[in-house]
Amino acid sequence: MPVREALALLTTVGGARPLSARALPWFPVVGALLGATLGAAWWAADRVWPPALAAALVVAADLALTGMLHVDGLADSADGLLPHAPRARRLEIMRTPGIGAYACAVVATVLVLRVTALAATGPEPFVVAAIWCAGRATVASVPAVVPYARDTGIASTLAVRDAARWPASAAVPAAIVASVDAGVAGLVAVVVTASVVVATIALGVRRLGGFTGDVLGAAIVLGETAGLVALGARW
């Protein structure tokens, strides 16, 4: 089932499943479910522990539920996209198991930002669900408009040019839910999330000629983080 494929790729739930482009329309649904679970965990943890500790536990739960797949993509993308190198060398770096200084710095910064952004605001479960939904909804439409950067790879099965483009539209109801729950801050958080996802994909296209699975994972993490930072602003 396509939903099982999406769950298997984006979370540690669903078991091992072959991946195909038919899973893409389910990305927003899985994102919303994952975000809702984390939002509920944030609400519960905030009633037991101080804000900083509750936030750290939510970030840890996210890493556990996603199997750290997206953070791994962020690390590989940082090492491949940020230094000066030709396209072939960038792709080679991103396939190397080890990580470099760029990956360490970027991942550490992102994790700190996620914890502090959550700690800076009161629990907003519906906004978290909306942010997680919007990030994956935007990513789900990428294969329909952006070429795959490699000849082969795990994400190559998603590279179907006639894949549905509409999943990104799921960001609209996500924005509505966020704005109803948290006003302008919620709306801005979702818009920022989608915008940073698009910017990350654009960087991948510019430096690799297309997307890879690592770039998609990096886009999700960076989009979510930017959304949380926007939510934590003094509105």
Give 127-155 pLDDT, tens digit per residue. 999 999 999 999 999 988 899 998 777 76
**Is residue 89 in a domain?**
yes
Q: Is residue 20 part of a domain?
A: no
Q: What phi, psi does 211 have (nearest 5°)? A: -105, 160
For residue 223, give both structure tokens. 């989009």
**pLDDT score for 17:** 67
The reported pTM is 0.95
Question: Within a domain: residue 17?
Answer: no
- Give the residue carrying structure tokens 């960001």: 171
Give the closest residue to 143 by CA, choosing from 63, 42, 25, 43.
25
> Residue 168's pLDDT is what?
78
18, part of any domain: no
The mean per-residue pLDDT over the stretch 147-167 comes to: 74
Distance CA 57, CA 65 (A): 12
Residue 170 backbone phi and psi in degrees, to 5: -65, -15
Q: Is 158's pLDDT higher than 90?
A: no
pLDDT at 221 over 90: yes
Q: What is the pLDDT of residue 163?
A: 62
Flag whether 191 is in a domain: yes
Q: What is the DSSP string of 73-112?
A: HHHHHHHHHSS---HHHHHHHHHSSS--HHHHHHHHHHHH
State the average pLDDT over residues 16-41. 88
Please list the residues that pair with 148 across neighbouring strands.
211
How far is residue 228's CA from residue 62's CA, in Å, rounded to a whole number? Answer: 14
Within-domain flag for 174: yes
* pLDDT of 186 strictly over 90: yes
**Position 208 pLDDT exceeds 80:** yes
The total number of structural domains in the chain stands at 1
Find the mean pLDDT for residues 25-51.
Answer: 95
pLDDT of residue 37: 97
Q: Is 221 part of any domain?
A: yes
DSSP letter string over 205-232? HHHHSSB-HHHHHHHHHHHHHHHHHHHT
Above pLDDT 70, what percent of the chain? 94
Q: Is the confidence at residue 28, as pLDDT, over 90?
A: yes
Q: What is the largest CA-CA distance in the chain?
A: 50
Token readout for 209 is 């000629």
Which among 212, 80, 23 has a CA at the least distance from the CA of 9?
23
Report residue 148: phi and psi, to 5°: -80, 140
Q: Sign (positive/negative) of CA torsion 63, 66, 70, 72?
A: positive
Distance, in Å, from the CA atom of 105 to the CA atom of 53, rounded to the nearest integer, reads 22
Average the pLDDT over 93-109 and give the result. 95
Mean pLDDT, rounded, for 181-185: 88
Mean per-residue pLDDT of the chain: 91
Expressed as residue numbers, the domain containing 64 is 27-150+162-231
